[in-house]
Structures are given as structure tokens and as C-alpha cells.
Amino acid sequence: MRVERFEANPLIRPQDIAPTRPDVEVLCTINPGAVWHDGQALLLVRVGQRPIPTANYISTLVYDHHCGETVVRRLRLDDPDLTTKDGRAFIYRGKTLLTSLSHLRVARSSDLVHWRIDDAPAIAPTTEWETYGCEDARIAAIDGRYWITYTAASHLGINVMLAVTDDFAAFEKLGIVATTFNKDVCLLPEKVRGRYVCRHRPFRTEFNDACIWTAFSPDLLCWGDHSVLHRPSPGTWESERVGAGGTPIRTDAGWLEIYHASDANGRYGLGAMLSDLDHPERLLTRSARPVLEPVEPYERNGVFSECVFSNGVLANDAGDLVIFYGGADTVTAAARTTVDAMVAAARNEAQTRPDKG
């Protein structure tokens, strides 16, 4: 079976969400974490907002932790100290600033197509670690509670924070669990050998590739026993970087994960991989080709073009699997497949072929 995009894609667009204040607009609705909750599908969508554009200026939103408010910062486009990068960021006097400030918002659906989106953010910047936003949530249901990892961006670097909720109405932030510069943290849904397990992805430097790592913890807060699980492959669709996706799924074949990768041109696709059930730090096999890659206009053109990026999947008892993903860093879309099909894809078996649209 191939991966099939929803006919209703994109499912959640910037125009579907009301901004939090009248002087800003929603730029992107992307990269949702996903979980079953109260018999429905629930997403934590990353909502990026920016100031309404002003001629001859570039603007950004920043959370000021000193006063506890979000403030607008505007710079003239002809400022000699300003360097634009891409649709996501710019550099001013040697420091990178984002073009939008993100928060996380709850969306619910009983049919996976029509979504009811909360009016207010679920998780928004409230700390110095989040001055540039809260991004890319991943949700794991463990021991009857919902544990949320998300990227916290600030002038202090890119960190990963942990939050927990019982009802998706009240959230408790538990602090930083992966420090600068790190992201793409997802939790396994159960303990292995008596400890919690996560994936994470330290940033690439002149010394190291951008690899997927595994770590273990006794309490979800303190992490150790780090090791590399998967690394980029030169000359392939995953030559530039690899990173973890949504919560891994237990199968008879191993822990199934849908992960992301990019090539030398910065084109992002999704792959499937399997790791050992009792030793999830051991990679068993992974797809040699992407199972989903940018083909549709909403995946090829946007804030960051040629990009499909997932950190949320949902499986049911029948083995159906839905992959939620951000398209071109602008919209949320989804594709359906099966757990068996993705296991076959990870094993590079002939019955499953990559989706070309």
C-alpha cells in the first residue's frame, strides 16, 4: 500500500485560525503533535504569528520576559546591519531573529478532516527560554498522562522543554530537558528496561553531522546514556540531516518511526525506520527512499518551500496509520497508510513504494 494524501488537504491553513491580537496575522499552521484523547483525534498545532507587514520594514514578535508581554520589533529594510535569510529568519547585527513568534494550539476532530480549533493558545511563551516561540510539539501518552516535548527558541539558544497535561485544558511546564542546541525530541510511549526513552537531534557543527540520538531517563527530566541511532547518508535524500518524528509505535517488527530528513538542496522528506523493541538504541532498518516527499503545491511553495515535516502520527487498533505533517512550513496536511505498509517500507520490501503524488 502506498501513502495517500487526504483529498481535503491542506486541513488547517493560516486563515482558519484567529490571531491572538488585532495587529498580527497568522503566518503558518504547521507540524502538529498528535494523540487520541476522549475518543477524538487531538492535535497541538504550531501557530506562527507575525506583525501585519508595513511597507519598507521587516517586523518580528518577541516575548519580553521582563514585562511578560509580547512586543513588536521593526527594522528598516535598507538598514545596513540587516541581512535577510529565508522566509523564517533574518540577521540583525550578527544575531538571528525569527520572522514569526509561535505558540501551540489545540485542534480536535472526530473524522480527521474537519477540525475545531481553540481560540486561545494552549502553550505560549512565558519564560526567558521561549522569547522567540514555542514550536513543534510531540505528544506521548505515558502512565495515564500526556507528556509534551517542544522546541523553545530564544536569545539563549534552541532548547527543548517538557510539559504535562491530564486534560489539554491546563498545562504544567517542567523546564528544559535538552539544552542548546538541540531539538526533535520525541518520547517512546512506555518504559524500556525500566527507563524512559527519547530521541533527540543535536545541531550540526563543524565536527558532527545532524544525527538522531537516543537517551534514557529514570524520571523524564534527567537524561543520559546517549548514543547515535541514525546519521545522514552522503549522496542520498537524507544527506544533510535526519531528525525524529512523532511518538514511535510498537509493532512485532520493532519500534516503528516516521522520521524526517533533508538532502543537499534542503528538500525535506519523510522516511520509515525500525529499532529493536528491547534495545531501541539499536537501528534495525530504515527506508532507502522517502515514503513521502514534497510534490503538491502546498508542500512545494510557502514559508519554506520543498518541505514535508512530521512530528505527529496516529494509529488505530485496525492498523491504520495517519501521518500529520507541515507543508512548506505553512499549512497542516495529512496522509493515510497502514502500520504494516510502513514496516514494509522500512524493510525496503517491494510491496510498498514511495509516494510521488
Quick check: is 41 in a domain?
yes
Bridge partners of residue 336, in order along the sequence: 4, 322
Q: Which of 220-234, 270-284, 337-351 has the lowest mean pLDDT?
A: 337-351
Query: What 3-state class would DSSP assign to 65?
Result: coil
**Residue 353 pLDDT > 50, yes or no?**
no
In a domain, 49, yes or no: yes
Number of domains in the chain: 1
What pLDDT score was predicted for residue 350?
Answer: 66
CB burial class (10 A; 0-12, 13-18, 19+) of residue 321? buried
Would 311 be classed as within a structural domain? yes
> Is residue 352 in a domain?
no
Q: What is the pLDDT of residues 29-58, one digit of tens each?
A: 999 999 999 999 999 999 999 999 999 999
pLDDT band at 1 (very low <50, low <70, confident <90, very high): low
Cβ pair 75, 58 in contact under 8 A: yes
**pLDDT higher than threshold 80 for residue 87:** no
Query: Which cell numbers in the block locate residue 2?
Result: 502506498
pLDDT interval class at 258 (50, 70, 90): very high
What's the CATH code of the domain at 36? 2.115.10.20
Residue 270 has pLDDT above 50, yes or no: yes
Please provide the average confidence, as pLDDT, over all residues in the chain. 95
Residue 30's contacts (CB-CB under 8 Å, 6 or more residues apart) are: 45, 46, 48, 309, 326, 327, 329, 330, 331, 332
Give, in order, the Cα–Cα distances in Å from 10 to each of 83, 103, 152, 327: 32, 20, 26, 8
- For residue 106, which of 194, 46, 57 has the smallest C-alpha distance? 46
Residue 47 in domain: yes
DSSP assigned state of 14 = G
In a domain, 356, yes or no: no
Residue 143 belongs to what domain range? 4-346
pLDDT score at 11: 99
Residue 224: per-residue pLDDT: 97
Dump pLDDT digits (tens) for 123-162. 999 999 999 999 999 999 999 999 999 999 999 999 999 9
Residue 48 lies in a domain: yes
Domain membership of residue 323 (yes or no) is yes
Which residue, chain included where needed, has cell 503538491? 296
pLDDT at 347 over 90: yes
